[in-house]
Amino acid sequence: MNNDLVTGNDDPYLRTVRTEVAMELINSVRAAIYARVYQLDEGDEAARLTQKAIALRRLLGSLDCNEQQRVEAVIRHWGPLLKDEQRLWPALQDNRPLLAA
């Protein structure tokens, strides 16, 4: 990753692309959650995962290409988790923040 994106690159195209990447990551996590909810059908676990998906939707709505530090934080947090399902589900199981500081 180019550190200029985090440290203040003024290229609007690159900011927009990185924001779209972050949004796609969040949407991919939400899709995985809803697939799991569909398998569970109903119950406490399904309800808890649905609440996580709703919280991720709020995070998605908070992304702004003018706030690249937040965008990059989403990419750093969710990108590796999506690549490793054994890490993704435990990260969604407890009350961990949706965005690592």
Residue from 68, 81, 93 nearest 26 by CA: 81
Domain boundaries, the chain: 4-93
pLDDT at 60: 94
Q: Which residue has the tokens 């750093």?
A: 76
Higher pLDDT, 48 or 6: 48
Q: Is the pLDDT of residue 3 over 70?
A: no
Q: Is 36 helix (H, G, I), strand (E, B) or coil?
A: helix
| pLDDT tens sequence across 42-68 | 889 899 999 999 999 999 999 999 999
Interatomic CA distance for residues 59 and 19, integer angstroms: 12
| pLDDT tens sequence across 62-101 | 999 999 999 999 999 999 999 998 999 888 886 777 775 5
Tokens of 99: 């965005």
CB 24 within 8 Å of CB 79: no
Tokens of 68: 């690249």
Q: Which residue has the tokens 């919280």?
A: 55
